[in-house]
Amino acid sequence: MAPWSDLPSDLLGLVIARLPFPADRARFRAVCRAWHSALRRHVAAPPQLPWIVLPEGTFVTVSDGGVHRMAFPESNNVCIGSTDGWLALHRTDNDDDDSVDGARTTKTRHTFLLHNPFTGATVPLAELGDILDDDFFEEFRVCKVIIRSRPDDGDADDHDESLNQEGDSDNDSEIEPVGDDGIDDVGHQWQYLTGEDLIWKTTKYELEGDDYAVNGSWHLLESSGRLLMVRRECLIAAFVKQGDHTRSVDVSEADMDAGTWVPVTGGGLGGQAIFLTELFNKSMPAPAYGEVEEDTMYFVDTPDVWDLKSGTRRLFTQGIGFFDLDRTWVFPPELIV
């Protein structure tokens, strides 16, 4: 019988594709020198592209388009946000209560927690269950979770969360507009982090005939110590050959002294790459090696990326359907291969 080290490289590549988690790949690498070499051939050097996580726990390893299933703690959990390698989960359970007249009623109990799928660690957010109850979810939904300190930095109990809410479009309980502008979740994040108000235009849809519409969105994020506002327009196409795609991207930097937004000209992000979703935005360095490309903007809701230097888009296959605003990025720990 041939030793394990003699397995063909292409067969080892199929095994590696079934082991997306860094811890499993580290164990694979430790088996023998041949398997370590196979991992180097089949896995790109860091920094590697993050994963796309869908609400129910399905995730896509963008590097190879692999679709996998993530085991959430217990059941009835859905992902409502993320920060780096942590997911914010929302669980619902139905409890039967006896009313005064003896009739039985069903009440939904809401539980929230932070979960790290790479370490298995969880941080319960028990205090939110008393605030975000059935009455809250009748009119609102949680659309973004902000964590001011990572749960794995020091004391696991010493962190702050902020959950932004969005009105239910069925009952017009959206946030009140202010003149031609509106306050959206980015404004609430800015106010939460700085104590100051930030007014900005809300996401909007413009109908362009019967076949497609234009979706405009604004995203606020920090990049290399700068506060950036990204304005993006997407074409939502039902019968257009190109399908849903990014139509334009504009980036502005906050001038704190002048109190204005200054367009970022000349192209590029100073060697950074930006990952955008409705739930989580992140800027990270993009060295010459690895999968992450500098001066590039990555999206989860359209099959393209945006090159800031050339001002053009190119196709970027992720392996799943598109224009789902509830998916987000999660960043696995880097594995040196």
Say what the pLDDT of residue 98 is. 57
Q: Decide: pTM greater than 0.95.
A: no
Q: Which amino acid is at 218?
A: W
The reported pLDDT for the residue numbered 198 is 44
Report the SS3 class of residue 24.
helix
Residues of the chain with pLDDT under 70: 1-2, 96-105, 148-212, 237-243, 267, 317-325, 335-337
What is the structure's pLDDT at 304?
Answer: 87
Proportion of the chain in helix, strand, coil states, percent, rounded to 5: 15, 40, 45
Tell me 174's DSSP state.
P
Q: Which tens digit of pLDDT belongs to each residue from 240-263?
A: 555 678 888 999 999 988 888 999
Task: Kindly report each contact of residues 312-316 with a partner whose C-beta sits within 8 Å and lies 24 or more positions away, as own/partner.
Answer: 313/245, 313/246
Q: Tell me which residue of 68, 101, 70, 107 sits closest to 87, measured CA to CA.
A: 70
Q: Residue 97 is inside which H or E element, if any?
A: strand 86-98
- Reduced 3-state DSSP string for 265-326: CCCCCCCEEEEECCCCCEEEECCCCCCCCCCEEEECCCCEEEECCCCEEEECCCCCCCCCCC
Domain boundaries, the chain: 74-174
Q: pLDDT per residue over 68-79, tens digit each?
A: 888 888 778 889
Q: Pinpoint the alpha helices (H) of the chain.
A: 9-17, 22-29, 33-42, 134-139, 185-194
Give residue 105's pLDDT: 65
